[in-house]
Amino acid sequence: KVLEDCRGMKPIRHITLKSRQVGLSTLWILYHLDATLFQQGVISGIMAHELDSLQHLASIVKFALSNMPFPVKMTEDNQKRISFAHNDSTMLIDLEFRSTPLHNLHISEWAFCENQRLWATFGAVSKWANVTGESTGNGMGNDFYSTWMDAKEGKNDYRYRFIPWFANSEYRLQLNGAPNISRDTRETKYNLDPEQLNYRRQMTSRLKDAFFIEYPEDELDCWGQS
């Protein structure tokens, strides 16, 4: 559905508010990697808020490259820069991009990136560049929140999508015995099945109110709870 949102959109501008671990970073990294591999002279950037995240995102790129059906020759290969010999294109992975002109940019956990780093990076992005981003909620005083709200109000050129935790089929726990059929208002509203109910109750017991930030069920969870 995220890619369907962007059908016919040139350039792509897409922002997603989401639950944890729904695979959206992987989707967009592979999307931009495809453009970087198969077009001439493309520079794509992947931005994150901390070094550990950069290493994880770099591992996605390298795993994809190591599983290509043909060998890919690289002129440079490290944690922050991967350059391809056949087309003079480059994939960059960093906390910000201040002076590099980007053709594609993906921002992982946008709400946790420093505003100043984001604004410096946007200065390196032309009006023709594709910009995608996703994040869990992190309060209202950040660039992600303002960009999201502007998108909803039609004040910028981003298309937007919210992805709740129960959209991920892996978020469920098998029941031991008969399910408890008593449901609260939300569990009824979202029509959660018994294994989803069990997951929700186990996780809310463990995380308390933090569950609704990390695993939101509606948009207000992300802003209000955080």
Question: Which parts of the chain sit beneath pLDDT 50?
Answer: 226
User: What pLDDT is attached to residue 65?
Assistant: 92
Does the N-terminal peptide bond of residue 11 adopt cis geometry, omega within 30 degrees of 0? yes
Closest CA to 211 of 170, 174, 148, 165: 165
User: What pLDDT is attached to residue 158?
Assistant: 95
User: What pLDDT is attached to residue 46?
Assistant: 95
User: What pLDDT is attached to residue 179?
Assistant: 62
User: What pLDDT is attached to residue 99?
Assistant: 83
> pTM, whole model, 2 decimals?
0.89
User: What pLDDT is attached to residue 226?
Assistant: 46
d(CA 50, CA 44): 19
User: What pLDDT is attached to residue 64?
Assistant: 93
User: What pLDDT is attached to residue 225?
Assistant: 52
Computed from CA positions of residues 84, 89, 90, 91, in that sequence, does the dihedral angle turn out positive or negative? negative
